[in-house]
Structure 1
Amino acid sequence: MFNPEILVELANTRMPYGKYKGIRLCHIPEPYLVWYHGKGFPTGKLGMQLATLYEIKLNGLEYLLTPLIKK
């Protein structure tokens, strides 16, 4: 069963390291996610979130995350 909280978390979690440290995962540019896809996503929860975000952006569905961003 799908848990909608996954999308809320995806819209509000910030990248913990690297070039985009501090940026919300949903705002990470698609080319960076494509690079990760080719390199291999990290293990654990962050890897799952980045892989999910890659699929969302690949299919043009990032607009679904916009209303979930907490101010």
Structure 2
Amino acid sequence: MTNKNEQAAAKANAEEYKFYLHELREHSQTLFGVKPEVFDGAVFGMKDIQATKTEVKKRIDAFLKKEVKQ
């Protein structure tokens, strides 16, 4: 019988599922709390058509922290 720590470690080691960017964009408000326009800016220039939620979340966070040039 496994305990909760072993189960959590097994989940962490499992590979995260990749989604198509258009699917993530459709649910950007629910998943990431941003409008689709912000999602578009964050993933602009991505060459892959698939990404994990974690990868996209990191890009969105970095995009929102960028300084606006005037």
Q: TM-score, normalised by structure 1?
A: 0.29
Give the strand-richer structure, 1 or 2.
2
Larger Rg: 2
Q: TM-score, normalised by structure 2?
A: 0.29
